[in-house]
């Protein structure tokens, strides 16, 4: 059987078990929705500037957390061993777990965007780059969550580890302050954060503006991040999941 | 695959965890269709062995062939031919019994029709059909164990690994599970069993291997192992009268030692046939009758305890 079908079965089971639960969906949606509404009420101009950043932040927190929680939980409950005993390659398991977390993040982001479009008139300038930003962001952040969960034993350890990346990333990635307003010394740091590239792709997708000369730059950088995350996940999974 | 060579072949298996030697040069073979019990005290290396045979751990040295395939070269193919029941039942708590089985059927590549049919068959034969729509987490410990075994059989594996299958179960559930294991074996599945329960191994296994501190100290059928560890053959005899032990020892050179035990004379003999002939003659000469006579063989538990205290006794004579 195709490993792709097995990836589908793995993700479908995770969606069924962990993600398709009302508390999780509302948890993922409520915080960004309330934040955006508050900013809109304060100043519609600020709202428009930070919307790509808030959507990217939703993906970052939702995907990294869910991937880390699910894998750590399955490691502790022994159900991950079930997968290791099944005729699945390590890559199939990694992609199955990352795909379900990515789908959760995408679904949350899409519902948020739909709500913004219906209630606050959010418009899309380039559907291709907007969709690419959502898709690549969800995939990269899910793999990052998975990497963190493999490096530790407990959920709280995974969250602590992720927060070392997530909170500084919020500061340096143009989520709340546009990159052109950054001091020059901070720009090189911003360009090595995957969140920056997700924000800029989404910004281009929504407004047609982008910090980089062309939206293909953040798209290419995110594709490289995706491949690197996958390459890093395989040896780490082989080394840590079987312990 | 050469059936004579065995469905599982292990040669020179070694594994260390840092300074701790878990397995050292372990070699054995399991024939297709047999029930093979792998015994040893805690920390002997049983779980390490089973983890290596299932592809969860890589050995430091040694070769493992399962179902005619080299495990190191074909781990995914080997996993598709074996079923594993870990010591702790570990299905998905929130999924129903049926969904757990069908999900594992998906991962093992069964078609939708095949996995539905197989799940229904297994639920029925493991007496879980009524619980099919209940979540796994709501089952009793015995039912969870049964469902975990059913899950390992979803793809009809050639070899079933059972790690302490009855650990933590009440007597009734453990007995029911042993009946199930015998039924699984009757379908032609090779069973590799680890257990602390020696009477269970004695009851179920065709052959037994005993592991001590990472080394295999005995392998063979239960009677073979008993024979190897018993220093002298023993007999129990009772007469219509009470003869003098010194007279018995003098008249029966094949009897090496005699002592009273629970109203019977326990005799250590060199050759039961010779001893029997001499005992009959002795009874006739004393004018008494032999009321009861039996040979005594050590139980597997006694043999196991002997081996634990002196592993050299496990070597074939």
Q: Which residue of B has its CA nearest to A83?
A: B107
Residue pair B268/B194 in contact (Cβ under 8 Å)? The answer is no
A10 shares contact with chain B (CB less than 8 Å): yes
pTM: 0.81
Beta-carbon separation of A85 and B84 below 8 A: yes
pLDDT in tens, chain B (317 residues): 444 568 999 999 999 998 889 999 999 999 999 999 999 888 889 989 999 999 999 999 999 999 999 999 999 999 999 999 988 888 999 999 999 999 999 999 999 999 999 999 999 988 899 999 999 999 998 899 889 999 999 999 999 999 988 887 788 888 888 888 898 899 889 999 998 888 888 889 999 999 988 999 889 888 888 777 665 578 889 988 888 888 989 999 989 888 888 778 888 888 888 889 999 999 999 889 998 988 877 777 777 777 777 777 665 54
- For an interface test with B, give the residue of A86, A90, A240 to mutate (most B CBs within 10 A): A86
Q: What does the pLDDT read at residue B309?
A: 72
Q: Which residues of B touch A89 (CB under 8 A)?
A: 76
Q: Which residue of A has its CA nearest to B94?
A: A17
> Integer distance in angstroms from the first to the last C-alpha of chain A?
28
pLDDT for A193 beyond 80: yes
Q: Which residues of B touch A83 (CB under 8 A)?
A: 107
Beta-carbon separation of B107 and A85 below 8 A: no
Among the partner residues B84, B90, B107, nearest to A9 by beta-carbon distance: B107
List C-alpha distances in Å: B34 to A220, B181, B235.
Answer: 57, 12, 32
Taken in order B141, A156, A137, A232, the sign of the CA dihedral is negative
Rounded to whole angstroms, the Cα distance separating A208 from B13 reads 63
B156 shares contact with chain A (CB less than 8 Å): no
Residue pair A157/A109 in contact (Cβ under 8 Å)? The answer is no
Rounded to whole angstroms, the Cα distance separating B89 from B177 reads 14
Residue pair B188/B19 in contact (Cβ under 8 Å)? The answer is no
Q: What does the pLDDT read at residue B264?
A: 85
Q: What does the pLDDT read at residue B230?
A: 65
Q: What does the pLDDT read at residue B317?
A: 45
Q: Structure tokens of A216? A: 């293909």
DSSP helix/strand/coil, A151: helix
Q: Structure tokens of B67? A: 């179902």
Rounded to whole angstroms, the Cα distance separating B101 from B128 reads 12
Q: What does the pLDDT read at residue B63?
A: 94
B87 shares contact with chain A (CB less than 8 Å): no
List C-alpha distances in Å: A219 to A54, A133, A135, A231.
Answer: 19, 7, 10, 18
- For an interface test with B, give the residue of A85, A90, A237 to mutate (most B CBs within 10 A): A85
Q: Highest mean pLDDT: which of A16-25, A40-49, B155-164?
A: B155-164
Q: Which residue of B has its CA nearest to A85?
A: B79
In terms of C-beta density within 10 A (0-12 exposed, 13-18 middle, 19 or more buried), how is residue B137 classed? exposed
Rounded to whole angstroms, the Cα distance separating A208 from A124 reads 9
Mean pLDDT of A38-43: 82
Q: Which residues of A touch B88 (CB under 8 A)?
A: 78
Q: Which residue of B has its CA nearest to A84?
A: B56
Residue pair A75/A153 in contact (Cβ under 8 Å)? The answer is yes
Q: Which residues of B touch A97 (CB under 8 A)?
A: none
Contact partners, residue A150, CB within 8 Å, separation at least 6: A71, A233, A236, A237, A240, A241
Q: What does the pLDDT read at residue B313?
A: 65
Torsion, Cα of B300, B89, B75, B29 (10° steps):
10
- Taking alpha carbons only, the member of B192, B229, B227, B228 closest to residue B39 is B192
β-pairing, B190-194 vs B35-39, is parallel
H, E, C per residue of A10-37: HHHHHHHHHHCCHHHHHHHHHHHHHHHH
Q: Which residues of A touch B103 (CB under 8 A)?
A: 9, 13
- Taking alpha carbons only, the member of A21, A157, A41 closest to residue A100 is A21
Distance from CA of B79 to the nearest CA of A (A): 5
pLDDT for A226 beyond 70: yes
Quick one: DSSP state of residue A111? H
> Integer distance in angstroms from the first to the last C-alpha of chain B?
31
Rounded to whole angstroms, the Cα distance separating B45 from B38 reads 10
Q: What does the pLDDT read at residue B316?
A: 56
Beta-carbon separation of A87 and B77 below 8 A: yes
Name beta bridge partners: A203. none
Rounded to whole angstroms, the Cα distance separating B195 from B38 reads 7
H, E, C per residue of B92-147: CCCCEHHHHHHHHHHHCCCCHHHHHHHHHHHHHHCCCHHHCCCEHHHCCHHHHHHH
Name beta bridge partners: B9. B29, B65
Rounded to whole angstroms, the Cα distance separating B51 from B86 reads 10
pLDDT for A167 beyond 70: yes
Percent of chain B that is helix, strand, coil (3-state, to 5): 40, 30, 30
Residue pair A51/A116 in contact (Cβ under 8 Å)? The answer is yes
Strand order in the sheet with B233-239: B255-261, B264-269, B233-239, B290-296
């Amino acid at each position: 059987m195709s490993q792709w079908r097995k990836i589908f079965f793995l993700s479908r089971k995770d969606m069924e078990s962990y993600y398709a639960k009302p508390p999780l969906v509302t948890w993922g949606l409520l915080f960004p929705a309330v934040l955006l509404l508050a900013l809109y009420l304060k100043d519609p101009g600020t709202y428009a500037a930070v919307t790509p950043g808030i959507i990217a932040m939703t993906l970052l927190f939702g995907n990294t957390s869910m991937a880390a929680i699910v894998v750590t939980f399955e490691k502790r409950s022994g159900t991950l061993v079930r997968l290791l005993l099944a005729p699945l390659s390590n890559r199939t398991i990694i992609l199955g777990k990352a795909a379900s977390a990515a789908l959760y993040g995408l679904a949350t982001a899409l519902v948020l965007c739909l709500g913004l479009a219906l209630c606050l008139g959010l418009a899309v300038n380039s559907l291709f780059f907007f969709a690419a930003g959502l898709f690549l962001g969800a995939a990269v952040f899910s793999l990052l969550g998975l990497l963190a969960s493999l490096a530790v034993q407990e959920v709280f350890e995974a969250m602590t580890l992720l927060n070392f990346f997530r909170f500084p990333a919020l500061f340096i990635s143009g989520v709340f302050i546009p990159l052109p307003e950054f001091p020059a010394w901070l720009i090189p740091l911003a360009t090595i954060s995957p969140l920056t590239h997700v924000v800029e792709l989404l910004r281009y997708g929504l407004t047609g503006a982008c910090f980089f000369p062309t939206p293909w730059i953040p798209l290419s950088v995110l594709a490289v991040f995706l491949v690197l995350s996958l390459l890093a996940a395989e040896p780490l999974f082989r080394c840590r999941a079987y312990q | 695959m050469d059936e004579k060579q065995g469905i599982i072949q292990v040669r020179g298996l070694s594994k260390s965890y840092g300074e701790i030697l878990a397995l050292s040069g372990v070699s054995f073979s399991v024939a297709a269709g047999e029930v093979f019990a792998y015994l040893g005290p805690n920390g002997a290396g049983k779980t390490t062995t089973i983890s290596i045979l299932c592809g969860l751990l890589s050995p430091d040295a040694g070769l493992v062939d399962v179902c005619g395939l080299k495990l190191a070269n074909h781990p995914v193919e080997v996993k598709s031919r074996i079923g594993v029941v870990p010591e702790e039942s570990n299905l998905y708590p929130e999924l129903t019994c049926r969904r757990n089985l069908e999900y594992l059927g998906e991962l093992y590549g069964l078609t939708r029709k095949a996995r539905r049919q197989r799940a229904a068959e297994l639920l029925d034969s493991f007496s879980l059909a009524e619980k099919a729509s209940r979540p796994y987490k709501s089952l009793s410990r015995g039912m969870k164990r049964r469902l975990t075994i059913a899950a390992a059989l979803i793809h009809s594996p050639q070899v079933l690994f059972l790690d302490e299958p009855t650990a933590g179960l009440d007597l009734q559930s453990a007995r029911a599970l042993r009946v199930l294991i015998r039924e699984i074996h009757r379908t032609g599945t090779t069973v590799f069993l680890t257990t602390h329960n020696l009477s269970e191994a004695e009851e179920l296994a065709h052959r037994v291997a005993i592991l001590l501190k990472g080394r295999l100290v005995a392998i063979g059928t239960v009677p073979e192992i008993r024979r190897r560890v018993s220093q002298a053959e023993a007999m129990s005899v009772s007469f219509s009268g009470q003869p003098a032990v010194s007279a018995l020892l003098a008249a029966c050179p094949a009897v090496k030692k005699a002592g009273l035990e629970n109203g019977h004379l326990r005799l250590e003999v060199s050759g039961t046939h010779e001893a029997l002939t001499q005992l009959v003659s002795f009874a006739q000469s004393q004018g008494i009758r032999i009321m009861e006579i039996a040979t005594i063989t050590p139980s597997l538990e006694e043999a196991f305890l002997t081996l634990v205290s002196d592993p050299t006794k496990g070597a074939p004579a």
